[in-house]
Each structure stands twice: as C-alpha cells, then as structure tokens.
Amino acid sequence: MYSIGEARKRLPQDYVDYLYRAFTPKFGDAVLQAAARPLPSSLRVNTLKSDVHAVMASLRSCGLKFQRVPWSKEALLLDAPREKCLRSMAEYDRGQIYLQSLSSMVPPLLLPLAPGQNILDLCAAPGSKTTQMASLMQNQGSITANEVDILRLERLQYNIGKQGSTIVGTMNMDGTKVGRLSENTFDAVLVDAPCSGEGRFRLDEPKSYRSWRPPLVQKMARLQKRLLASGLDAVKPGGHVLYSTCTVNTAENEAVIAALLKARDDVELLPARLTGLKVTAGLTQTDEERWPSALKLAMRIWPTPNMEGFFCCLLRKRA
C-alpha cells in the first residue's frame, strides 16, 4: 500500500493537476487514495451454470474470505487480491464464475434487460458485460457482440463459449459504422466505450497509467462521441442506450453526453441508479453549472478501495 503523497509523485503530473483543478479536493484525495491501494478481487457468479450459494460454499471450503454486494445478487467481493487462488478453482475452469471488477458489473444492471430482447454490445471485448447480460436475460433472446480488434474478438469468443452464453453472436466491425447499417434494430444497446482508463489507475500496476497523456483523452472523446451516436442510431425508438467508461475526466464523460444532447433532439436521459450503490458527485458546483441539468441523472462512481472509477449514463431514444 502506498500513500497519497506517493500517488502524487508516481501518477502523471498532468493527470494529478487536472483532478484538483476540475474536481473537489475531497474527490482528488479519494482518487489518489484508491490508486495507492491494490484492488481486492471480485467475481460474478454465472447463473447459467451455477448459483451464488454453491459458489459461496466452495469459496469457504478453500478458506477464502468474502462478502456479498448489496446491489448485485451475483457479485462477491473478496478480502484482498486473490486472483491466483480463484483461477485455480474448478468453478473458474467450468465457467461458473467470472473474475470481474465491481464497477464493471454496474452498466448491464442499469439497462432494463429482459429475456427475449435483441441487444447490441457495441464494444464488447473481452466479454465481461456481454456474458453478464446473457445471464440477466436467462440465455433467452439474442445479443450481438461487436469488436473491431481481431485479437480481442478471439478473446471475446473464448469467454462467450466458456460462460455458455449461447444467445450471443459476434461481429467484427468498426463500431462507429454499426448504427448506419443496423438502424432502429435493437431493443437496447450497451456502449462501454474505449477510454483513457483513469478510473483503473493503480500504483501497483504501472502499466495502468504509464501510457496516459493529455492528447489521449481528446482522442478517446472524439471516438466516444461517434460510438455513442452509432449506438443511438442502432437502437429502436423507445429503446435504451447505456453509455459507460472506466475513466474520471469530464471530457470523456459529461462532455460526451452534453455534445450528444446538443446535436440530437431524439434522446432523453433517465436516472442511472442502483439500490444499495452509493454514488457521490465529484464535480464542483461551478462545473455542475456548465452541464445540462439532465446530467445530474448520470452516475459517477468514485474510485474507492473496492471499486474502480466509472461513469454511466442511461439514455432513451424517443419514440
């Protein structure tokens, strides 16, 4: 475990300066404190192959300590990083559990999914949320999982097969073009966009922040705007789109949604909330006044000792 002072020194200086310039000091301290600690392991029980009580019994038999997560019936949080132990379990080999960060489990839970729907996962690899959605839909309906990178597509296909997500079909396309080719097709779309990954910075994993540069943020924001527009084109009128990133800055989060609201009049924001999950705004009052008031409905998850930083926004395409 490191100190906040060490986090200030090790993380990119432009990033640290931005945190304290754009957000409250309390938020900046929380982000650095989270980055200074190893993230404990968490897993999602694959209800297509097992149930949470059976997995809990198996964890106890292995001497692993864990706790339930109040906002997800399938999520378990371990007491420390235990990835090696979890990967050695038979349940992992059988696809009965999926090692997934808690924050990553949030976006599918915010979408109003139901068995029988036709869903698009626009940026799907490695398949964490794709397979989670298949479980939530009880393997009934259809999910199109798109991935532009061929190597990541192979990993996606492997995880889909291992998890037994038989309703999922894969596609290898530029996500920004999918909407034009599949206009008004899907009941719901997940746009878990590529991002600068600031919410995942950890000092014990230097590769998580080593390549970060300010130009990367702007590059990602331009791509995210195009992906979100594509997702909205692809969803049916009356359907839902969930936009999410695992980053902290406003350029890839609030500003992307604000630009969309300015460019289109066929979309509205809905509350992004989960019972039992506490979220707190990190923006200063001045910053809040810059954005459309509807953005208060979005969810900003602070990086914490147990959770990565995440942003989620639930949208509906007007009928």
pLDDT, average across residues 67-76? 97
Give the number of other Cβ atoms within 10 Å of residue 71's Cβ.
15
Task: List all residues 6 or more positions away from 306 whose beta carbon is below 8 Å from its beta carbon.
Answer: 39, 40, 42, 77, 102
Confidence of residue 24 (pLDDT cuts 50, 70, 90): confident
Confidence of residue 26 (pLDDT cuts 50, 70, 90): confident
Q: Which pLDDT value is given to residue 286?
A: 57
- 251 and 221 Cβ atoms separated by less than 8 Å: yes
Phi, psi of 119 (to 5 degrees): -120, 145
- Overall average pLDDT of the 189-203 stretch: 97
Question: What would the pLDDT profile of 296-311 be if each residue is shown by its tens digit?
Answer: 899 999 888 899 999 9
Q: How far is CA 152 from CA 127, 172, 180, 200, 202, in A?
A: 9, 10, 23, 19, 23
Domain spans of the chain, in order of start:
4-37+104-317, 40-100
Q: What is the pLDDT of residue 285?
A: 55
Residue 261 to residue 186: CA distance in whole angstroms: 21
- The yes-or-no answer on residue 123 being catalytic is no
Task: Provide the CATH topology of domain 40-100.
Answer: Alpha-Beta Plaits (3.30.70)
Mean pLDDT of 245-255: 96
Q: Which of 23-27, 82-86, 197-201 has the lowest mean pLDDT?
A: 23-27
Cα–Cα dist 239/237, whole Å: 5
Q: What is the pLDDT of residue 287?
A: 65
Three-class secondary structure assignment of the chain: CCCHHHHHHHCCHHHHHHHHHHECHHHHHHHHHHHCCCCCCEEEECCCCCCHHHHHHHHHHCCCCEEEECCEEEEEEECCCCHHHHHCCHHHHCCCEEECCCHHHHHHHHCCCCCCCEEEECCCCCCHHHHHHHHHCCCCCEEEEECCCHHHHHHHHHHHHHHCCCCEEEECCCHHHHHHHCCCCEEEEEEECCCCCHHHCECCEHHHCCCCCHHHHHHHHHHHHHHHHHHHHHEEEEEEEEEEECCCCCCCCHHHHHHHHHHCCCEEEECCCCCCCCCCCCECHHHHHHCCHHHHHCEEECCCCCCCCEEEEEEEECC
Place domain 4-37+104-317 in its CATH homologous superfamily.
Vaccinia Virus protein VP39 (3.40.50.150)
Q: What pLDDT is recorded for position 79? A: 96
Q: Do β-strands 186-192 and 168-171 pair in parallel, antiparallel, or remain unpaired?
A: unpaired
Catalytic: which of 123, 195, 246, 312?
246
Q: What is the pLDDT of residues 252-311, one digit of tens each?
A: 999 999 999 999 999 999 999 999 998 766 666 556 677 888 898 999 998 888 999 999
pLDDT band at 27 (very low <50, low <70, confident <90, very high): confident
Query: Which phi and psi angles does 296 have, rounded to 5°?
Result: -65, -15
pTM confidence score: 0.96
d(CA 302, CA 280): 7
Q: Which residue has the tokens 């936009």?
A: 243
Whole-number average pLDDT of the chain: 95
For residue 172, the tally of other CB atoms under 10 A from its CB is 13
Question: Which pLDDT does position 85 carry in this prediction?
Answer: 96
| Closest listed residue to residue 89, CA positions, set 130, 41, 135 | 41
**Where does the pLDDT of residue 1 fall: very low under 50, low under 70, confident under 90, or very high at 90 and above?**
confident
Main-chain dihedrals φ then ψ at residue 175, nearest 5 degrees: -60, -25
Q: Is the pLDDT of residue 142 over 70?
A: yes
Query: Between β-strands 168-171 and 142-146, what pairing exists: parallel, antiparallel or unpaired?
Result: parallel
What is the CB neighbour count within 10 angstroms for residue 63? 7
